[in-house]
Structure 1
Amino acid sequence: MDCATVTVPMNYRKPADGKLSIAISRRKAKDPAKRQGVLLLNPGGPGGDGLLMPSYLEPEAIATSYDLIGFDPRGVGRSTQLLCEVGYWEPPRTRPTDDQFAPITAAAREREAACQRAGGGLRPFVNTANAARDMDVIREALGEKKINYLGFSYGTYLGAVYGSLFPGKLNRSVLDSSMHPDWLYYEQSKQQSVAAKQSVDAWVKWVAERDKTYHLGSSAAQVNAALDEMGTRLAAQPIPWPDNPDFPRIDRNTFDQLLGFWAAPRPNWALLAELVVKIKESIGGTLPADAGKAMAALGKALIPETFNDTFPTVTCEADWPADLNVYYEQMRLFRERYPYGRGANAAEPTECTFRSFTPPERLADLKRKGYPTGLVIQAEFDPATQYDGGPAMAAKLNDNLISISDEGSHGIYGRNACATEKINSYLIGGVLPGSRTTCAGAPRPDVPAGGVAAQSGRSLEQRAVELIKIHKLDRTF
């Protein structure tokens, strides 16, 4: 790749106040004769570094026709960094008790103070609108009249803001795994636990249809009762997990996270069911070594997104509830209704509850007026940006929507052949797939309902590694 740095104002309203550097990268189109311009890429976050994205997407068809442009947004990676002092994090709890609300709140308040001490001068200007303005500086530096855009997760909101601020500078646009335009950002966080519960409910029904294989119950109610009983027993007597320093034991909290995060990808379902059976058999003892290794392998692939210190700043560009009772009521609700994955952790106070700076501008009014119809891509059981965000963003921008049915992935391009083909046809040929299109998700495991699954002979660890490789479960944005 070619790499460079562009210089941008810290504050676009007062350029003399200081400048920031933005690191950019370029992988030129493989076929210069077919080149159609530049395609800017963003991985999401907020806080994801995108400098290496042109290399990640080099095998895809778009690399033939576009110069792929990556960049680290302001505050991130090799661009001018926004740093926070290390603050205290309470361990994430899926079902916190009322007594635990106060320390969770105190930790969020302390983290905000730690961020303010280290990055106070820069923080007000690390936001989505300024990142979009930086993108337009990149466009100008490259000598392009217009850009094309492919953004994932939070990158969908960034792309929508760019199109709203610079409609005459945007050509084709693909928003993959979209944020909801009206869920900035507290509701977006909570919906991750809603999505996790939806995937667990679907998995529970699938397991109930295979009671002769897994013996967890022949109805959804029976399987849920078995899971609740296991959770109660794990809360009282966690299972030691040898050789895992991050999770030395499996308690109810870890069990909730396991179910919520690992039920999302459908190809994972059979292995997840077998691991749950192993955990059930191990209560009162120790997790078998092979089951522990399988869980560790999947855990590295399916842990939720992590962010640098830009995340707790950009997400504060929107107002969060100021009344702590709002959070406490939601945490009580979520620990009962949506305890899987992040559970009530998704509804708790954050740094933004105690925001110590005033955003210099209001959120951008999202609209598509002046640039071509784009695509929004959304998986039915997206674990990070819940499905409703896709139709809402498509309606907001009057874009075409591609839905991936029975799919629990986050970040579809390059992973789903049907959707990837339609995206390529649009980006390369300008062909829209239709206002509403559906592609099938990755297949569920071939375990017959009402029968006993054939044993493959491969260990749980081997199968976990195989799932990661075949279904690209380790690719997160």
Structure 2
Amino acid sequence: MPLKEFYDQQVNWSPPFEDGLERATVVVPRDYSDPDGPKLTIALARLKATNPAQRRGVLLAVNGGPGGDGGDGLGLIKRLGRRVRTAYDLIGFDPRGYGESTKLYSEVTIPKAPFDSRPPDSLFEQLAEDMRLRELGCQKGGGELRPHITTRNTARDMDLIRVVLGEEKISFVGYAYGTYVGAVYGTMFPENLDRTVLDSCINPQWTWREQFVTQAEAVYRNVALWAEWTAERDGHFHLGTTPEQVIAEIEAVVEKLDDGDQVQLRTLLDGAVGTRSTDRAQWDSLGYLIGDLRTTLQDANYEKARTLIVGQATWRPQDQEGDLRVGVLEAITLETYWPQDLEVYYADVRKHRAQHPYGYGVLRAQPWVGAFRTFESLEPPTKLAQPGYPKGLVVQADGDPMDRYEGGVVLAELLDHPLVVIEDSGDHEVYALAGNEVLDALVDDYLVDGVLPAQARVTVPGHVKRPDIPKD
């Protein structure tokens, strides 16, 4: 048995830390086709089932990324609810390449192109050069490890974790990229999967480039809904009586900022429009912001405009250590095809710059490291399949700005899972993380008691309500 030494290892759990988590590590082969070669360490965390008499197994959870950006890592399991804690030992793990597991490093490169939500054509060459240098940094920092940081290997690591924990099956909750990890695991090891929840889904029929590019459209859906709602309340906001007029007011503010060479402020405004439109509770504040900026910029008062816009996030954080950073995102997203022709990217930037400029989705259309890739994948991506795959649950918000709604529809159909749609919601990663009690109860019923919805598609209302402002 090639993996016997790995299967026979003992997991030595630490006493609980201050956060309540027990910690441990397991050793896995870097390359499962060469188990005698180099080895990696995978970090684990555990919350033991609070009612041993009702314990039904272990549940693994993954969110964020690829590469942990925006995710909770080992601490994700602390956010799962009381009912699930009674029934499972909750197992958190940092997938290979990041967190407390063996890290895949990349050299830090500093982009020279300014951060611009609507980059002009004059920046295109520099944007591409920044990505070329970023890919070279990944090559230099990642070395021979980089081709082995893959979704399929993460699935293999999960199954090795199952074995060393002494479990016949595992249950799984995956968010965002974690939905793809879970679907790949279920395809590769269907006999070892018990119950699974896939929340905020990667579209398995898209390449990573398609996944990136569609974020701009996903954000704009929320902007369009906000504009419709605002137009119905023109007596309150005075931004126009049609969605088109409301959008035109945003663009008038954008034009004023561009006329004053206020690229940073305009970029922050685009971010604010995208962020606040996805959060239904901020719809009124977004309307006030546009109205206040319109008044302020009549006198080109950029300092006051800056005060109004201040606080908008510009991008996600990175896991950086001095001259090195984690390079998992660049490795995983190169599992699928990226065009080498830069004109393809430039055409997409022009399209979304004109049609879907809000949020930071236009940046996803820019050249990526895949255009300059320095390594070839060791195996093709997994073709997700149903045979033997146990029925689970797919959760998707209809206004998810990161992983577009269609991804949940496609994945549910492909795996023959019921689809739970959170209606009128811009949430991303919902179960146990967003505060939607109706959804949480429905998913808990499945994970704890095995109760699945009787229909192929059921709806749950979004828990964040629109502001209570009557229509005109």
Asked if these proteins are the same fold (TM beyond 0.5), I'd say yes
- 1:27-42 aligned within 5 A: 27-42=47-62
Report the secondary structure of 2:469's partner residue.
coil
Letter in 2 for 1:88: I
Q: Give deviations 1:422-464, integer Å, cap 9, x for gaps.
A: 11111011010131101111221111112xxxxxxxxxxxxxx
Aligned-residue offset at 1:177: 0.4
Cα deviation for residue 60 of structure 1 reads 3.9
Instruction: Name the Cα RMSD after superposition.
Output: 1.9
Q: How many residues align?
A: 436
Structure 1 position 2 matched with structure 2 position 22 = yes
Give 1:289 shift: 9.8
8 Å CA contact 2:352, 2:362 repeated in 1: yes
The 1:348/1:179 distance shift into structure 2, 3 A limit, reads same
Equivalent of 2:173 in 122, 125, 150? 150
2:249, 2:290 within 8 Å by CA — same for their partners in 1?
no
1:285 aligns with 2:301: yes
Structure 1 gap ranges (5+): 240-248, 451-477
1:207 equivalenced with 2:223 (yes/no): no
SS of 1:369 mapped into structure 2: coil
Counterpart pick for 1:88 among 100, 106, 110 = 110
Runs of at least 4 residues of structure 1 off by over 6 A? none
Instruction: Tell me the residue number matched to 1:439.
Output: 460
How does 1:151-300 map onto structure 2 within 5 Å?
A: 151-237=174-260, 251-283=265-297, 284-286=300-302, 292=308, 296=311, 299=312
Distance change >3 Å, CA 250–CA 329, structure 1 → 2: closer
SS in 2 for 1:45: coil
- Residue 77 of structure 1 pairs with residue 99 of structure 2: yes
> Does the C-alpha gap of structure 1 residues 170 and 327 become closer, same or farther in structure 2, counting only changes over 3 Å?
same
- Verify: 1:429 aligned to 2:449, yes or no: yes
Please say if 1:336 is aligned against 2:350.
no
Partner SS state of residue 345, structure 1:
helix
Which residue among 104, 110, 135 is the counterpart of 2:158?
135
SS where residue 148 of structure 1 aligns? strand
Q: Distance in 2 between matches of 1:391 and 1:306?
A: 31
SS at match of 2:203: coil
Asked if the contact 1:44/1:151 (under 8 Å) is kept, the reply is no
Gap change, CA 1:91 and 1:135, over 3 Å in 2? farther
Tell me the residue number matched to 2:323: none
Once structures 1 and 2 are overlaid, which stretch shifts more, 146-155 or 89-98? 89-98
| 1:171 partner SS | strand
| Partner Cα separation in structure 2 for residue 60 and residue 348 of structure 1 | 43
**Structure-1 separation of matches of 2:94 and 2:284:** 38
Letter aligned with residue 461 of structure 2: A
The residue type paired with residue 94 of structure 2 is D
CA contact (8 A) 1:335 1:343 kept: no
CA deviation map 1:362-385 (0-9, x unaligned) = 001111322321111000110110
CA 281–161 in structure 1, closer or farther in 2 if over 3 Å, else same: same
Distance 1:223 1:305 in 2: 32
Q: 1:306 to 1:191 in 2, by over 3 A?
A: farther
The Cα of 1:93 is off from its aligned counterpart by: 2.6
Amino acid in structure 2 at the alignment position of 1:361: E
Report Cα offsets for 1:274-317 as digits up to 9, x if no partner: 2222222322225559964x852xx46x9657674211111111
- Letter of the structure 1 residue corresponding to residue 284 of structure 2: A
* Equivalence for 2:143: 120
SS in 2 for 1:314: helix
Q: Between 398-407 and 94-103, report the one with greater CA deviation.
A: 94-103
Give the stretch that moved more between structures: 250-259 or 141-150: 250-259
Aligned to 1:22: 42
TM-score with structure 1 length normalisation?
0.88
Q: Share of identical aligned residues, percent?
A: 41
What is the CA–CA distance in structure 1 between the aligned matches of 2:272 and 2:316, rounded to whole Å?
A: 11
**Structure 2 stretches lacking a partner, 5+ long:** 1-20, 320-325
> Secondary structure of 2:201's match?
coil
Identify the range of structure 1 (133-142 vs 362-371) with the bigger mean alpha-carbon deviation: 362-371
Kept after mapping to 2: 8 A contact 1:40/1:69: yes
Report SS of the residue matched to 1:277: helix
Q: TM-score, normalised by structure 2?
A: 0.89
8 Å Cα contact 1:261-1:304 kept in structure 2: no
